[in-house]
């Protein structure tokens, strides 16, 4: 692997959804997440990180140093035990070592080296078998839709039932009714940050960074489902600083990318209904723009 990155990065990710539910809220019957005051749609950072993890796991086949720590049906303490086994520590013999003892830093380093998402996003690994905590160099905000996201509810029918008891109650009609929630169209904007000092602590490398950009651009292509409709990454704009600490405030850089509706009187249903403008004039000294998509 290449060396840890030496530059700070700030970036803007723009993606959309058509006739789908980009991030259901389990506390609200799986309705699309929205800001109750503005009606704007929300997609959590956790949801986006899940898609990055899935893409990396698919492309790199879950092989070190690109294993995925947080994944479906994972038992995290089993991964912690692997770290101590690799270090030659017998957790059964010494309770102090089971809890970590003096080897926590070594175990944490092993986890960063082997798991892509640990050295990218960080992880709390101090429960049970203690591998410490890692603060990841890559952080994302919630994605927020540009305009209000209208949530629609649809009745759906399955021409079958799950049990014989249900079939008897329906006298052979065998239908199951359900509900499905979608957003007709919404364009979302997310901000992200990459810290070089934290990358030095986890070993997040130039190769890791390139894979991360690739994942943001392609993650929806391998995440298709009936519930999510059409989701597409539309724009990825990266602001690269020429130093580890950076040369300008992130919010000032983000203000250079504007998204506006072309026609306020018409309903928005496609990406072309918006105009996305990037101001590249008079950039702060030490900042360059990489318009990746």
Asked whether residue 56 is domain-assigned, the answer is yes
Asked whether residue 3 is domain-assigned, the answer is no
As a whole number of angstroms, the distance between CA 80 and CA 127 comes to 10
Asked whether residue 243 is domain-assigned, the answer is yes
The widest CA-to-CA distance across the chain, in whole angstroms, is: 75
Asked whether residue 86 is domain-assigned, the answer is yes
The per-residue pLDDT for 101 is 61
Give me the mean pLDDT over the 120-125 stretch. 97
Asked whether residue 1 is domain-assigned, the answer is no
The per-residue pLDDT for 97 is 46
pLDDT in tens, 263-290: 988 899 999 999 999 999 999 999 999 9
As a whole number of angstroms, the distance between CA 265 and CA 32 comes to 24
Asked whether residue 192 is domain-assigned, the answer is yes
Q: What's the gap between Cα 241 and its chain centre?
A: 23
Asked whether residue 173 is domain-assigned, the answer is no
Give the residue numbers spanning the domain of 79.
9-166+178-291
Quote the number of domains for the chain.
1
Asked whether residue 69 is domain-assigned, the answer is yes
Q: Angle 104-114/76-86 helices, nearest 10 degrees?
A: 110
Look at strands 287-291 and 274-278 and give their pairing. Answer: unpaired
| Top-confidence residue, 173 or 149 | 149
As a whole number of angstroms, the distance between CA 158 and CA 95 comes to 54
pLDDT in tens, 13-59: 999 999 999 999 999 989 999 999 999 999 999 999 999 999 999 99
- What's the Cα-to-Cα distance from 41 to each of 22, 83, 209, 219, rounded to whole Å? 9, 40, 28, 20
CB 176 within 8 A of CB 158: yes
């Amino acid at each position: 692997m290449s060396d840890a990155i030496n530059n700070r990065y700030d970036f803007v990710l723009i993606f959309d959804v058509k006739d789908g539910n980009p991030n259901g809220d389990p506390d609200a019957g799986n309705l699309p997440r929205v800001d109750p005051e503005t009606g704007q749609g929300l997609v959590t950072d956790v949801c986006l990180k899940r898609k990055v993890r899935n893409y990396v796991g698919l492309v790199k086949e879950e092989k070190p140093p690109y294993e995925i720590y947080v994944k479906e049906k994972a038992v995290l303490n089993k991964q912690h035990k692997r770290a101590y086994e690799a270090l030659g520590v017998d957790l059964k013999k010494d309770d102090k070592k089971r809890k970590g003892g003096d080897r926590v830093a070594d175990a944490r380093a092993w986890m960063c080296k082997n798991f892509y998402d640990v050295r990218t996003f960080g992880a709390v690994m101090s429960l049970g078998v203690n591998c410490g905590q890692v603060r990841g160099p890559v952080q994302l905000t919630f994605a927020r839709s540009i305009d209000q996201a209208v949530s629609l509810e649809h009745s759906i029918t399955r021409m079958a039932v799950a049990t014989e008891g249900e079939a008897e109650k329906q006298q052979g009609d065998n239908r199951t009714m359900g509900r499905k929630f979608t957003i007709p169209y919404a364009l979302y904007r997310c901000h992200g940050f990459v810290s070089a000092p934290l990358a030095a602590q986890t070993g997040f490398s130039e190769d890791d960074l390139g894979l991360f950009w690739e994942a943001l651009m392609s993650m929806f292509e391998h995440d298709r489902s009936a519930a999510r409709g059409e989701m597409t990454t539309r724009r990825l704009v990266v602001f690269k600083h020429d130093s580890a600490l950076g040369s300008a405030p992130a919010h000032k850089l983000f203000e250079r990318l504007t998204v506006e509706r072309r026609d306020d009187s018409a309903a928005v249903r496609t990406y072309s209904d918006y105009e996305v403008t990037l101001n590249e004039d008079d950039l702060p000294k030490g900042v360059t723009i990489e318009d990746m998509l």
